[in-house]
Amino acid sequence: MIPKTFKEVIDLGDGREISIETGKLAKQAHGSVVVQSGKCMLLCTVVSNYEQKDVDFLPLTVDYREKFAAAGRYPGGFFKREARPSDGEVLTMRLVDRVLRPLFPKDYHSETQVMIQLMSHDPEVMPDAMAGLAASAAIQLSDFPFECAISEARVGRVNGEFIINPTLAQLETSDIDMMIGASADSVMMVEGEMDEISEEEMAEAIKFAHEHIKIQCAAQLRLAEAFGKKPTREYQPERKDEDLEKKVHDMAYDKVYAIAKAGSSKHERSAAFQQIKEDIKATFSEEELADYGGLVSDYYRKAEKAAIRDLTLDEGLRLDGRKTDEIRPIWCEVDYLPSTHGSSIFTRGETQALATVTLGTSRDANQIDMPSQEGEERFYLHYNFPPFCTGEARPIRGTSRREVGHGNLAQRALKGMIPEDCPYTVRVVSEVLESNGSSSMATVCSGTMALMDAGVQMKKPVSGIAMGLISDADSGKYAVLSDILGDEDHLGDMDFKVTGTADGITACQMDIKVKGLSYEILVNALQQARAGRLHILEKLTSTIAEPNVDVKDHAPTMVTRRVPNEFIGALIGPGGKVIQEMQKETETTIVINEDPVTEEGIVEIMGVGKTGINAVLAKIDAILFKPEVGSVYEVKVIKMLDFGAVVEYMDAPGNEVLLHVSELAWERTENVSDVVNMGDVFDVKYFGIDSRTRKEKVSRKALLPKPEGFKERPPRDNNSRGGRDNNRGRDNRGRDNRRDDRKPRQEKKED
- Report the binding-site residues: 489, 495
> Is residue 633 within 8 Å of 686, Cβ to Cβ?
yes
Helix (H) or strand (E) holding 633: strand 632-641
Q: What is the dihedral of CA 717, 718, 720, 722, to 10 degrees?
A: 180
> Is residue 417 within 8 Å of 459, Cβ to Cβ?
yes
Q: What is the dihedral of CA 220, 222, 228, 233, to 10 degrees?
A: 40
Helix axes 439-453, 519-543, angle to 10 degrees: 40
Q: Pick out the residues of the known binding site for Mg(2+).
A: 489, 495
> Is residue 561 within 8 Å of 622, Cβ to Cβ?
no
Which amino acid is residue 557, in one-letter code? Answer: T
DSSP-derived secondary structure for 451-520: HHHTT---SS--EEEEEEEEE-TTT--EEEEES--HHHHHHSSEEEEEEEETTEEEEEEEEE-STT--HH
Task: Count how many residues are written for the chain.
Answer: 751
What would the 3-class secondary structure string for 519-534 be?
HHHHHHHHHHHHHHHH
The CA-atom distances, in angstroms, between 174 and each of 12, 88, 154, 170, 722 are 18, 20, 12, 6, 83
Closest to 249 measured CA to CA, from 228, 227, 277:
277
Pairing state of beta strands 425-434 and 379-384?
A: parallel
Query: What Rg do the C-alpha atoms of the chain give, in angstroms?
Result: 39
Burial (0-12, 13-18, 19+ Cβ within 10 Å), 598 = exposed
Helix axes 87-100, 401-415, angle to 10 degrees: 100
Closest to 535 measured CA to CA, from 502, 489, 495:
502
Helical residues (DSSP H) of 158-241, grouped into ranges: 168-172, 199-227
Closest to 192 measured CA to CA, from 61, 91, 65:
91
Closest to 604 measured CA to CA, from 619, 615, 583, 589:
589
Helices and strands counted in the chain (H then E): 17, 29
E-state strands within 311-442: 330-334, 342-348, 351-360, 366-370, 373-377, 379-384, 425-434
Instruction: Give the number of C-alpha atoms closer than 13 A to the C-alpha of residue 530, restricted to the C-beta side.
Output: 16
Dihedral sign for Cα 360, 362, 364, 370, please: positive
Helix axes 439-453, 401-415, angle to 10 degrees: 50
